[in-house]
Amino acid sequence: MKLFPLFADLQGRRVVVVGGGEVAARKAQVLLEAGADVQVGAPALAPELAGLAAEGRIRHLPGEFRAEWLDDAWLVVAATDDRAVNAAVSRAAAQRRVFSNVVDDAELSSFQVPSIVDRSPLIVAISSSGVAPVLARRLRERVESLFDHSLGALAGLAARYRPRIRERRPDLKQRRRFYDWLLDGPVAGLLRQQQPAEAERVLNDALDAPEDASQGSVVLVGAGPGDPGLLTLKALRALNEADVILYDRLVSPAVLALARRDAERVAVGKRPGEDHDATQARIHALLAEHARAGRRVVRLKGGDAFIFGRGGEELEYLRAQGVRYEVVPGITAALACAAYAGIPLTHRDHAQSVRLVTAHCREDEDSLDWPGLAREHQTLAFYMGVGQLETLSARLIGHGRSGATPFALIENGSRPEQRVVTGQLADLAGVARSHEVRAPALLIVGEVAGLARQLHWFGAYQEGRREPLAA
């Protein structure tokens, strides 16, 4: 470790800033926020510093740098654009055992100022030991996005209630569980929704309850179509906090890789020989079992959980079982595939509405409004296996949609191996066969599908040929 991290209490302590320009002003500001007694030494002060001096918030030490300025200082920051002056500051500081920071000069500095994420009283400080400030800034951005702004309020609340929590939960294990509940449960949620009074009421109720109310919970998370960049910040947070993740076959490995390292990952897709209802019942039981054991469960589904994802059924079950839950929406395949194929789902000239449809082309399960679906000036997005295309195009054409209507099949939408295959509705099944389109694939039917030809920007693009006619 090249640098030892520490958090300094500067309340009322003298800190000298050498330099009177903009950088010095920025440094003086932060030091004032930390309650330091700031003195700024420079022949002249930039307007912002002059203002602070006039208000009496800082003291101006006029003239060229003098070593005596540092006599009563705890820290010094050199922010001049003259390296010789900065070096003199650094030397004088070393002689007096005063820590010095020379802005943007790791070599002359005996302390560095980290990049920070401020959720006071919680502060995350990041350092690259002065060698890669860009990297430190990057990391800061990531950390910034991981921690909600309500975290400061949560930490403040936890601090205020610490004595009462200790009194009401004397047992260490119980107390730990209570803190977990406090940080992950409804109190944190209410603070995020900016309802501090309600949050405090829930906290009080929980403290007064004799039994520990800190049971587990389930977050139903939409993982999007595959590109991990399409996760929401909330989904990322849930993945970072999960104890166990129950995921579907459609969830991409790149998304799973972002989850907490030691979270247990359980694939719950359909097993060979198992029917859909049996799979679903098994998943329900697993969800409830893990939550009852006090775990934070993430139920991770491809796309959005409420679009052909049976998310509703899972919530009904959890509600009946009294298990707490939350829902985080995801980007559904139709939106992602359209975006990544350059197909605007609505368009002033071509389509005024869009329908998300799942087609069961089996006669007995087919309750779709085919005449409605066959109407013009609308876009259809079909979620389904690729085995049903023959029936599908026949029905649409049979109910009046033109055989010349453009379609686009998007295979592995948003993933590195994405492929878009386009053609005309009458040729749909033949094109899919000759191009060997495989699941997962989404079908878009409507004039807008033809725009992929000009607007596609990601992955492979192929224009469908009919299968050569058998001789």
- Backbone φ and ψ for 77, nearest 5 degrees, come out as -120, 125
Q: How far apart are CA 89 and CA 67, in angstroms?
A: 7
Q: Check if 37 is active-site.
A: no
Shortest Å, Cβ 354 to ligand SAH: 14
Q: Check if 248 is active-site.
A: yes
Q: Is 156 marked as a binding-site residue?
A: no
253, 343, 248: which is closest to 301 by C-alpha?
248
Which one of the listed residues 248, 277, 364, 427 is annotated catalytic? 248
- Select the residue whose beta carbon is closest to ligand SAH and give its number: 303
Shortest Å, Cβ 25 to ligand SAH: 51
Q: What's the CA angle centered on 58, arms 56 and 62, to 5 degrees?
A: 105
Structure tokens, 196: 């501090």
Cβ nearer to ligand SAH, comparing 221 with 337:
337
Q: Is 80 marked as a binding-site residue?
A: no
104, 211, 206, 209: which is closest to 161 by C-alpha?
206
Shortest Å, Cβ 4 to ligand SAH: 47
Shortest Å, Cβ 386 to ligand SAH: 8
Q: How far apart are CA 176 and CA 386, in angstroms?
A: 50
Cβ nearer to ligand SAH, comparing 41 with 228:
228
Cβ nearer to ligand SAH, comparing 76 with 236:
236
Q: Is 23 marked as a binding-site residue?
A: yes
CB distance 232 to 264 below 8 Å: no
Shortest Å, Cβ 20 to ligand SAH: 58
Cβ nearer to ligand SAH, comparing 178 with 340:
340
Shortest Å, Cβ 254 to ligand SAH: 12
Place of tokens 């998310």: 311
Looking at the DSSP assignment, which residues form a beta bridge with residue 116?
125
Q: Is 332 marked as a binding-site residue?
A: yes
CB distance 294 to 274 below 8 Å: no
Q: Is 43 marked as a binding-site residue?
A: yes
Cβ nearer to ligand SAH, comparing 216 with 413:
413
CB distance 203 to 280 below 8 Å: no
Which one of the listed residues 105, 148, 212, 270 is annotated catalytic? 270
CB distance 428 to 422 below 8 Å: no
Transcribe 155-196 into DSSP letters. HHHHHHHHHHHHHH--SHHHHHHHHHHHHHSHHHHHHHTT-H
Q: How far apart are CA 50 and CA 38, in angstroms?
A: 13
Q: Is 245 marked as a binding-site residue?
A: no
Q: What's the CA angle centered on 443, arms 367 and 405, to 5 degrees?
A: 90
430, 427, 424, 414: which is closest to 446 by C-alpha?
424
Cβ nearer to ligand SAH, comparing 3 with 250:
250
Residue 261 burial (CB count, 10 A): 6
Q: Is 1 marked as a binding-site residue?
A: no
Cβ nearer to ligand SAH, comparing 14 with 415:
415
Looking at the DSSP assignment, which residues form a beta bridge with residue 245?
265, 298
CB distance 228 to 255 below 8 Å: yes
217, 205, 216, 197: which is closest to 168 by C-alpha?
205
Q: How far apart are CA 284 and CA 311, in angstroms?
A: 11
Q: Is 387 marked as a binding-site residue?
A: no
Residues that bind ligand SAH (CB under 6 A): 225-226, 250, 301-304, 307-309, 332-333, 337, 383-385, 410, 412-415, 439-442
Q: Is 130 marked as a binding-site residue?
A: no
Shortest Å, Cβ 447 to ligand SAH: 21
Place of tokens 């980290």: 114
Q: Is 241 marked as a binding-site residue?
A: no
- Backbone φ and ψ for 125, nearest 5 degrees, come out as -115, 135
Cβ nearer to ligand SAH, comparing 184 with 248:
248
Q: How far apart are CA 216 and CA 181, in angstroms?
A: 8
Shortest Å, Cβ 407 to ligand SAH: 13
Instruction: Extract the annotated binding site for NAD(+).
Output: 22-23, 43-44
Residues with catalytic function: 248, 270
Instruction: Extract the annotated binding site.
Output: 22-23, 43-44, 225, 302-304, 307, 332-333, 384, 413
Instruction: Extract the annotated binding site for S-adenosyl-L-methionine.
Output: 225, 302-304, 307, 332-333, 384, 413
